[in-house]
Copies of this chain bind each other. A is one copy, B any other.
């Protein structure tokens, strides 16, 4: 029970006093942590109450910025001391992929709820261990699939579920970028894989929330034509296909070697829709569909005007409410595990291995 019960205990108090916010300890203070902290600053349910970093100076600077007590700054060695910090309800794991499992499990064992960045970990086994550890500790585990909380994405999913574009037959998606040298993400040791793990996962996850199905067959091809120091044991380019139980098919592509702004397009028996951008803002939905050949088409052209870090604020509000109301997050550990199982299948189809 532990923290979950304790959070429930606070529920009436919260309802009366919205000023009481869930306290989050940020583990790892890189770029993504910055987005989370700015999102927390904009949220109505969260506050930053702890920091874990290997760089004390940096941590103190950020602590001052977010009003965190210097006594709530931890190192990777003494992270278990967050257990005694009553201001910390949960952690956000913002570390390189290869460290997600360890710090999720150590945080859970320290009695804290966990919001973990995607990809959940670097192997299926790690994901399973994370889920088990959080269950055992009776803490919540959510994976930071921020688009599940983003209005254009939710509208797109609803359009499809409502049958607007008819039966989904095909999905096409791409997401990639030209990675700079010396990024942990393009090393096998820290990234656990290449662009599929890092950004291709958006396409994979999108096909799943768009169809409401899990893929059942995979084909893939991977190449690393640029034999430069950026690609240490990871693929540079990867194209793959998936088949879904309904008979829908998907073609996806990702890269670390080229400019590739993200998008997905969904092709249905009654029309199509498209969302440009998997990024932190500016998701843009266009659609064109009609109920039958004699009906004039419905057209949609709609952009989410909310600037970054609103996605992170929405995401953290969801997790805070799940903690406060003892609900399972919409993107629990099981959601991250499924993507990891599919990533494993895609890598296998490409002749690569995961983990």
CA distance A287 to B270 in the complex (A): 30
CA distance A265 to B170 in the complex (A): 17
- We find that the number of chain A residues with CB closer than 8 angstroms to chain B is 53
Chain copies in complex: 2
Having A176-B267, A259-B288, A260-B272, one finds 6 other A-B pairs with CB under 8 Å, namely A170-B174, A219-B220, A219-B240, A237-B247, A239-B241, A257-B269
Kindly identify which residue among B170, B239, B255, B257 contacts A237, using a CB–CB cutoff of 8 Å. B170
CB interface residues, A 211-268, toward B, < 8 Å: 217, 219-226, 236-243, 246-255, 257-261, 265, 267-268
Q: Are B255 and A170 in contact (CB under 8 A)?
A: yes
Closest 8 CB pairs of A and B: A225-B247, A219-B219, A258-B267, A169-B258, A239-B251, A239-B241, A251-B251, A251-B253
Q: Are B239 and A249 in contact (CB under 8 A)?
A: yes
CA distance A321 to B225 in the complex (A): 40
Report A144-174 CB contacts with B as 1/0, cut-off 8 Å.
0000000000000000000001111111101
Q: Are A226 and B167 in contact (CB under 8 A)?
A: yes
CA distance A96 to B204 in the complex (A): 38
Instruction: List residues of chain B with CB within 8 A of the CB of A247.
Output: 223-226, 236-237
Q: Tell me if A's interface is mostly helix, strand, loop or mixed.
A: strand
Kindly identify which residue among B238, B265, B270 contacts A174, using a CB–CB cutoff of 8 Å. B265
Q: Are A241 and B243 in contact (CB under 8 A)?
A: no
Q: Are A260 and B251 in contact (CB under 8 A)?
A: no
CB distance from A68 to the nearest CB of B (A): 35
In this assembly, does A129 line the interface, its C-beta being within 8 Å of a C-beta of chain B? Answer: no
Q: Are B239 and A221 in contact (CB under 8 A)?
A: no
In this assembly, does A328 line the interface, its C-beta being within 8 Å of a C-beta of chain B? Answer: no
CA distance A247 to B171 in the complex (A): 24
In this assembly, does A354 line the interface, its C-beta being within 8 Å of a C-beta of chain B? Answer: no
> Nearest chain-B residue to A219 (Cβ)?
B219
CB distance from A106 to the nearest CB of B (A): 38
In this assembly, does A132 line the interface, its C-beta being within 8 Å of a C-beta of chain B? Answer: no
In this assembly, does A289 line the interface, its C-beta being within 8 Å of a C-beta of chain B? Answer: yes
CA distance A155 to B246 in the complex (A): 40
Known interface pairs A167-B225, A247-B225; A258-B272 also in contact (CB < 8 Å): yes
Known interface pairs A219-B349, A249-B253, A251-B252; A225-B169 also in contact (CB < 8 Å): yes
Q: Are A260 and B267 in contact (CB under 8 A)?
A: yes
12 interchain pairs, CB-CB under 8 A: A169-B255, A169-B257, A169-B258, A170-B176, A170-B258, A170-B260, A172-B253, A223-B243, A226-B247, A239-B251, A258-B272, A259-B269
Instruction: List residues of chain B with CB within 8 A of the CB of A236.
Output: 169, 247
CB distance from A352 to the nearest CB of B (A): 13
In this assembly, does A178 line the interface, its C-beta being within 8 Å of a C-beta of chain B? Answer: yes
Instruction: List residues of chain B with CB within 8 A of the CB of A167.
Output: 225-226, 257-258
In this assembly, does A193 line the interface, its C-beta being within 8 Å of a C-beta of chain B? Answer: no
In this assembly, does A336 line the interface, its C-beta being within 8 Å of a C-beta of chain B? Answer: no
Q: Are B267 and A170 in contact (CB under 8 A)?
A: no
In this assembly, does A271 line the interface, its C-beta being within 8 Å of a C-beta of chain B? Answer: yes
Known interface pairs A268-B259, A272-B259, A272-B261; A221-B249 also in contact (CB < 8 Å): yes
CB interface residues, A 284-299, toward B, < 8 Å: 288-289
CB distance from A253 to the nearest CB of B (A): 4
Kindly identify which residue among B241, B246, B248 contacts A241, using a CB–CB cutoff of 8 Å. B241
Known interface pairs A219-B220, A268-B258; A237-B349 also in contact (CB < 8 Å): no
